[in-house]
Amino acid sequence: MNLHGRRNKVGAYLIMTISVLALIMSGTPSAQAETNLHTIYHVYMDEEYLGSVSSKAVVESEVDKLIEEETQKYKDYQLELANDLTYIEEDVFRAESEDDAIREKIAEKAKIQAISTAITVKDEAIVYVKNEEVANKVIERFQQEYVPEAQWKAYQENEDASVDLKKDESKITDIKMKEDTSLQEVVVDPKDILEEKQAVEFLQKGTLEEKQHEVQEGEVLESIANEYNLSTKELMELNEGITEDTVLQIGQELQTVVTKPLLHVVVEKELYQEESVPFEKEVIENDEMPKGETKTKQAGKNGTSGFLYQIVEENGSQKKKETKKETQIKKPVKEVIEKGTKVVPDRGSGTFAWPTNGGYVSSKMGQRWGSLHKGIDIARPDNLTIKAADNGVVVSAGWDDGGYGNKVVIDHQNGFQTVYAHMDSISVSAGQKVEKGSELGIMGATGFATGVHLHFEVHKDGNLKDPLSYL
């Protein structure tokens, strides 16, 4: 509706009936001479009486002038008078002009506003722009802030719809506003209308809302202020009584502010990633293996699978990630571990077994080369494995500086101890329970040895004994 239409839509016409009409109707010459009446218009603006004018044109020309002045400041805007004007017509004998006074009042009270488009949420305007075209561009640019340019273009052109994704590639399946937005034509002060870029920035900044922060260990005013993008001064202004010298207490609550978005852009996308799939582990009990021992029967290997994820983001923050499809690329190999369950007695039977696989006694216990040879030497076995002569617990296993080289000592928990020396390598450790016939290590020539052999000793209640008396 144009300006003049709005002015006249509520115009009322009041014609005063005066007694002189009776004289006019009488037809007398004297009566006709006195019928020279003048029409005036009483002007109301928003129900406030301003006065009377000789013509509506007085008001309309003043309004046109005001609109023209505002148009110079707000070019390209469609401006109109926001006030309601009402005219009441009256015929009078004498017309006293108030035209100039009415012009001044209109100039003072008139509100010139612009027709604009509001972006609204639940019928509440959040930003005003020039028109619907600009409003749609603002929403589009706001959405683009949270979508990479290439993906936005592909989405708009529907290029990715049927494309299979490669490793670490993604594609957008939907872009929408979380809020139910609408566009409405409204009349507002032109100062409140934002340009396209300004409107996008306004939507990005959002509004501030208060939030309580509970002080954690190690936090100070500066670190808390930085967390909420505030200066230390601003944080102190929000909390009366807090100064730079205040010692914060753990659990103390401080008043802060956080940004609350006006709108939320919801982006749904698909992401394809190839990820390592951990192998399963299986433990098999072995009743022939001593308890506490384990052996890898089959080494585990991770597999690889391709995962197609469905991701939902709001203003760039991931809110949901679900597996839409999984495709196996390389099957994982299960790890199989054998676990010993056999209980090995730590007490010897009192009967010793031969500590090697065959072989012969190359040197007996007794005096040799001017000193006591404390045990027997066994050489040339069928293989070089050295075995425990009876059940027991390893007392020590390692290098001996006294000439024994690599040495193992076993306490059979019944008064007997046995010694195994000159070993090339040791496969047991101190504190370990060993079973009669179990491997202790490999025969060698470490320490003071003239060749590869096992030096074997037997001790009973701390006294040296001849091994051949027990084997």
Q: For position 209, what pLDDT does the model report?
A: 85
Q: Are residues 383 and 458 in the same domain?
A: yes
Within-domain flag for 333: yes
Q: Are residues 35 and 100 in the same domain?
A: yes
Q: For position 15, what pLDDT does the model report?
A: 29
Q: Are residues 84 and 61 in the same domain?
A: yes
The continuous run of DSSP H or E covering 127 comes out as strand 124-129
Within-domain flag for 17: yes
Q: How many residues does the chain have?
A: 471
- Rounded to whole angstroms, how far apart are CA atoms 326 and 307? 5
Within-domain flag for 354: no
Helices 99-109 and 56-73 meet at what angle, rounded to 10? 40
| Ramachandran sector of residue 358 (left: φ over 0; alpha: ψ -120 to 50; beta: rest) | left
We report the CATH number of the domain holding residue 386 as 2.70.70.10
State the residue range of the domain holding 196.
117-163+174-205
Q: Are residues 434 and 413 in the same domain?
A: yes
Phi and psi, residue 187, nearest 5°: -110, 125
We report the CATH number of the domain holding residue 335 as 2.20.230.10
Nearest alpha-carbon partner for 410 in 381, 430, 384, 437? 430
Contact present, 339 and 292 (Cβ < 8 Å): no
Within-domain flag for 197: yes
20-34, 143-157, 348-362, range with the lowest pLDDT: 20-34
Q: For position 342, what pLDDT does the model report?
A: 86
Q: Are residues 376 and 323 in the same domain?
A: no
As a whole number, mean pLDDT of residues 184-192 equals 94
Within-domain flag for 233: yes
Q: Are residues 431 and 364 in the same domain?
A: yes
Question: Tokens representing 79?
Answer: 């401006």
Q: For position 289, what pLDDT does the model report?
A: 87
- Rounded to whole angstroms, how far apart are CA atoms 6 and 80? 10
Q: Are residues 428 and 403 in the same domain?
A: yes
Q: Which residues contact 211 (CB under 8 A, 6 or more apart)?
A: 228, 255, 256, 257, 258
Predicted confidence (pLDDT) per residue in 266-278, tens digit? 999 999 999 999 9
- Rounded to whole angstroms, how far apart are CA atoms 158 and 28? 89
Q: Are residues 106 and 30 in the same domain?
A: yes
Place 24 in a pLDDT band, splitting at 50, 70 and 90. very low
408 has pLDDT over 50: yes
As a whole number, mean pLDDT of residues 174-190 equals 94
Which amino acid belongs to residue 388?
A: A
Predicted confidence (pLDDT) per residue in 56-112, tens digit? 999 999 999 999 999 988 888 899 999 999 999 999 988 887 999 999 999 999 999
- Rounded to whole angstroms, how far apart are CA atoms 38 and 90? 8
Within-domain flag for 248: yes
Within-domain flag for 130: yes
Contact present, 155 and 267 (Cβ < 8 Å): no
Q: Are residues 37 and 82 in the same domain?
A: yes
6 has pLDDT over 70: no
Q: For position 369, what pLDDT does the model report?
A: 84
The pTM of this model reads 0.58
What is the number of structural domains in the chain?
5
Q: For position 178, what pLDDT does the model report?
A: 94
Residue 410 CA to its chain's centroid (Å): 59
Q: Are residues 100 and 129 in the same domain?
A: no
Characterize the bridge pairing of strands 12-13 and 85-92.
Answer: parallel
Q: Where are the alpha helices (DSSP H) in 49-206?
A: 56-73, 99-109, 132-144, 149-156, 196-205
Nearest alpha-carbon partner for 155 in 172, 130, 141? 172
Place 161 in a pLDDT band, splitting at 50, 70 and 90. low
Q: Are residues 135 and 200 in the same domain?
A: yes
Torsion angle defined by CA atoms of residues 316, 318, 323 and 325, in that order, rounded to the nearest 10 degrees: 0
We report the CATH number of the domain holding residue 228 as 3.10.350.10
19 has pLDDT over 70: no
151-165, 268-282, 440-454, range with the lowest pLDDT: 151-165
As a whole number, mean pLDDT of residues 175-179 equals 95
Nearest alpha-carbon partner for 252 in 221, 231, 222? 221
Q: For position 160, what pLDDT does the model report?
A: 62
**Mean pLDDT taken over the chain:** 89
Contact present, 210 and 255 (Cβ < 8 Å): yes
Place 206 in a pLDDT band, splitting at 50, 70 and 90. confident
Phi and psi, residue 278, nearest 5°: -60, 145
- Rounded to whole angstroms, how far apart are CA atoms 55 and 51? 12
Within-domain flag for 50: yes
Helices 196-205 and 132-144 meet at what angle, rounded to 10? 50
Q: For position 240, what pLDDT does the model report?
A: 93
Question: Tokens representing 308?
Answer: 């197609």
Q: Are residues 382 and 438 in the same domain?
A: yes
DSSP letter, residue 444: B
From 290, 308, 342, the end of a domain falls on 342
